[in-house]
Amino acid sequence: MKKLLLSLAVLFSASQLFSQSIENQAPRKVHFDGTKKTFGVVGANQDKGLEQMWVDYSVASFDDFLTAWPFNSDYVLADTIGPGINNLFSKAAVGITGQLAGYIDYIDLEEKFTSLNPSFTSVIDNVYPSGYELKIDTFYVGFTHQNQTGLWNYLEPTIVTLGGGGTGAPTNTVLWSTRDSVNQSQTTDLNSIGLFQWPVNITIPANQRAGLVFKYFAPKQDSLFIAGSGLDSDDNQVIENPSAYQTSWMGLVYLSNGAYIRNTNVGFGNPVGSAGWFFAQNWWIWANVTYVDNSSINEQDAFGFKIEPLYPNPFAQLANIRYTIEKESEITFELTDVTGKVVYNERIGNQFPGTYTYQLQRDNLNSGVYFYSFIVNGNKVTKRMIVE
């Protein structure tokens, strides 16, 4: 899955154009040494009746291109003056908004960090509607860190609210924060990415959205590079398109002295004004969460029906969907494309209480996004799937 590259030339923003070369501040190519460090104790979540998943937009977009980017939350505007350093940024963030996308099996998290060609088997993409209470269990960051001075460096993961009614940039309203001090290097070298994690255990109220913010305060002789990924679908080592998940943000120091800008609005291109090569589209900042799925509540309480996530998702030839009914029901399965056109419909018929598995064959489906529905005694429950 992962290709590594050392890049490039000129910073290009959807809203502004900057002509300076980025030279020495280009993203670094990296490899994976499997380093994992836990700050605090992370325990397995035991809340019953809740769905659990890892919100990871880089995996959900099938990113296959990884670079590492230097930043320091002590950077000021004066640090950006001079050739090759105008792209310094002071904070990185991911908003959990719109879609809960990632995976539901911990083995995929292990696969992401231990395999050069990981195969993800439990990728899901669920709508995050109003009514969810989202418990954030663990905060994860992928980065490389070298302490050259022996002085204290500070790592500061923070959870904040999002502006714009839950769809905008991270705000300064802090819901949770911690700070760790380190005076030694946390990875073997600047070409190795490690996984770092903090226990959180806070609940985000229904109808509120949260952002995961990571900051790093240190002498500027010390170095922390955060991992950022993108998708190079045609394997030509150029990332042509921004991610479908516009959830990652960076605080560019020279842009309003650190104001947030979406990663999907920033590209690297040559010549100036080109469409750009979209590298750091999704930060390796993600969270393990548990949540109550509204559709699950409706399924169980309103009409006694529950759908488990389609597995695998995405799928190439065959997928399985487990569902449970609590009373005798008339069941119909329906598949629609993104335009709402029904591409398949099957009357399963009358079924007694119990748990069943529906097998979905690819047949003549083209690659892309679809929505599958179960109609139970006239009530419809719909979820999303991806065909490779």
User: Domain containing 364 — which CATH number?
Assistant: 2.60.40.1930
* pLDDT of res. 200: 92
Same domain, 275 and 344: no
Predicted pLDDT at 69? 84
Closest C-alpha to 186, from 158, 211, 213, 216: 216
Q: Which residues of 131-168 are buried (b: 16+ CB within 10 A; e: fewer)?
A: ebebbbbbbbbbbbbbbeeeeebebebbbbbbbeebeb
pLDDT, position 315: 83
* Closest of 143, 142, 1 to residue 64, by C-alpha: 1
Q: Specify the pLDDT at position 311.
A: 80
Same domain for 112 and 232, yes or no, is yes
Query: How confident is the model at residue 37, as a pLDDT?
Result: 39
User: Domains in the chain: how many in total?
Assistant: 2
Residue 338 confidence (pLDDT): 61
Q: Given this model, what pLDDT does residue 77 score?
A: 80
The residue among 268, 291, 314 that closes a domain is: 291
Q: Which of 260, 276, 291 is the last residue of a domain?
A: 291
pLDDT of residue 177: 95
Using alpha carbons, select from 8, 1, 2 the residue that is nearest to residue 238.
8
How much is the pLDDT for 255? 73
- Is the same domain home to 141 and 205? yes
Do 39 and 125 belong together in one domain? yes
Q: Could you give the count of Cα atoms lying within 13 Å of 206 in the half-sphere of its Cβ?
A: 7
pLDDT at position 252, please?
Answer: 82
Q: Please tell me whether residues 39 and 112 are part of one structural domain.
A: yes
Quick one: which of 6, 115, 118, 13 has its CA closest to 67? 6
Does residue 213 sit in the same domain as residue 362?
Answer: no
Residues 270 and 359 grouped into a single domain = no
Q: Do 154 and 255 lie in a common domain?
A: yes
Domain ranges, residue 89: 3-291
Low-confidence residues of the chain, pLDDT below 70?
1-51, 82-87, 116, 129-131, 233-239, 257, 268-276, 292-304, 338-340
Is the peptide bond between 271 and the residue preceding it cis, with omega within 30 degrees of 0?
Answer: yes
- Predicted confidence at residue 221, as pLDDT, reads 92
